[in-house]
Amino acid sequence: MATLLRSLPLRRVAQSAPAFMRPSLLRHFSSYPSDRKYNSSHEWAKLDGDVATIGITDHAQAALGDIVFADLPEVGSSAVSGERAATVESVKAAADIYAPLDGEVVGVNEKLEETPDLINSEPHEEGWIFQIKVSDPSQLDALMGSDDYEKTLEEK
C-alpha cells in the first residue's frame, strides 16, 4: 500500500497555511516537542530507558484529516525500522505508519480503538500509537531533532 505520509506535498501544505501559521514563523513556538526524534515519513519516537513510544507528527495528522480508525501492531511482534508497523485511516485516506526504530512491540495505545481521533487532538501525547523495546539505540542517531524536522518541513 502506498503511503500518504511519504508522499505528502509538504511545501503545498505549508504554503497553504496563513502566513502566521507557517512553520518558519512558528519556530520559537514549536508544536514539535524537543524530547523526541523524528523521521522523514513524519513519525516520532520518544525514548524512556529502552522503550520508545511512537506516534505521528502534528503535520502528518493535519495532512491526513480526521482519523477514524487505527490498525495497531500486535504486542510481541517485531518492528523493523522503515517498515510498516501500523495503519491509520482518515476521512481522506489510509496511511501506513512506519517503525522509526528496530525492536519488539511491547505496548499499543488501546484508547485508539474507541477514540482514534486522539491522534488528531493530541498527536504528541495521548495520541501515541505503539511502544517498542528498542534493540539498537544507535538508530536514534539517524533520526532528526525537532529543529531539524521543522527545517525539512520548510524546505519541501
146 Cβ neighbours under 8 A, 6+ residues apart: 30, 32, 33, 34, 36, 38
CB atoms near residue 9 (< 10 Å): 11
β 78-79/130-134 pair status: unpaired
Q: Strands, DSSP E only, in 3-48?
A: 37-38, 43-48
pLDDT tens column, 26-43: 444 456 899 999 999 999
pLDDT tens column, 80-116: 999 999 999 999 999 999 999 999 999 999 999 999 9
Whole-model pTM?
0.80
Q: What was the pLDDT predicted at 30?
A: 56
Residue 26 belongs to what domain range?
A: 5-155
* Type of residue at 42: H
Domain count, the chain: 1
The least confident of 18-22, 112-116, 122-126, 136-140 is 18-22
121 has pLDDT over 50: yes
Model confidence at 6, pLDDT cuts 50, 70, 90, reads low
**118-148 burial, b if ≥16 CB within 10 A, otherwise e?**
bbbeebbeebbbbbbbbeeeebeeebbebee
CATH number assigned to the domain comprising residue 138: 2.40.50.100
Model confidence at 56, pLDDT cuts 50, 70, 90, reads very high
- Looking at every residue in the chain, the average pLDDT score rounds to 86
Q: Which cell goes with 153?
A: 518541513
Q: Which cell goes with 63?
A: 495532512
